[in-house]
Amino acid sequence: MQYPTHLLKLIDVLKKLPGVGTKSAERFAFEMVSWPASKLEEMAHIIHKTPNLLQHCLECGSLSDATSCHFCQSSHSRLPLLCIVAMPRDVFSIESTHEFKGLYHVLGGLLSPMQGIGPEALNLPKLKKRIAALNIGEVVIALDSTLEGDATALYLKQELEPLNLSISRLAFGLPMGSSLDYVDGGTLARALSARGKF
Ligand code: ZN
């Protein structure tokens, strides 16, 4: 059995999305080819316009409709806290908690010597300038709990320590609703070392 050439192309394109394997890509492709042409064209139009209409904020690196994002435009009404994240989507995850009222800085990745990603590949030169210009008093490092996340957090700590600010990192611990039986040793050890007053 051989799929028509264009259907194969569609499946291959869909497989480029994270978490989409061959089976899911085939399901999506067959669903899409059942749509009316107008619906496919609308989808294609939105994808086509994305590079022009969605941009990285020149200040913080988050995603925006303009060269300056919503957060940077309203910097005067936000607290003098700066949350450092790896990717633009992390900004929106943290913002959706309604727990953070400061500003953001997107690194654009994490340090990874294995993949050849060094400090020069990250949005670091602007970080110190922004901290001074915005009178930032506290930096919150909100990076993954992985080898790369830990290495990047350590690097940031060393770089920012001379600036005399309060530096914190997101707490690590038990996922909500979890039972101790099911939590791995590493998570439990971190939860213990980062325990808080009750
Ligand atoms: Zn911004």
The pLDDT of residue 87 is: 96
Ligand 1 centroid–CA 32 distance in Å is 35
Ligand 1 centroid–CA 146 distance in Å is 26
Ligand 1 centroid–CA 68 distance in Å is 5
Query: Within a domain: residue 19?
Result: no
Number of domain units in the chain: 1
Query: Within a domain: residue 182?
Result: yes
Reported pTM: 0.86
One-letter amino acid for residue 176 of the chain: M
| Cα–Cα dist 86/30, whole Å | 35
pLDDT band at 75 (very low <50, low <70, confident <90, very high): confident
Ligand 1 centroid–CA 161 distance in Å is 24
Helix, strand or coil, per DSSP, at residue 105:
strand
| Cα–Cα dist 131/158, whole Å | 15
Query: Within a domain: residue 99?
Result: yes
**CATH code, domain with 152:** 3.40.1360.10
Domain that holds residue 135: 74-198
The pLDDT of residue 148 is: 93
**Residues 103/82, Cβ–Cβ less than 8 Å:** yes
Strands (E), the chain: 55-56, 63-64, 81-85, 103-106, 138-141, 166-169
pLDDT band at 174 (very low <50, low <70, confident <90, very high): confident
Whether pLDDT at 1 is above 80: no
Query: Within a domain: residue 58?
Result: no
**Residues 124/159, Cβ–Cβ less than 8 Å:** yes
pLDDT tens track for 104-159: 999 999 999 888 888 888 888 899 999 999 999 999 999 998 899 999 999 999 99
Query: Within a domain: residue 183?
Result: yes
Query: Within a domain: residue 158?
Result: yes
Ligand 1 centroid–CA 66 distance in Å is 9
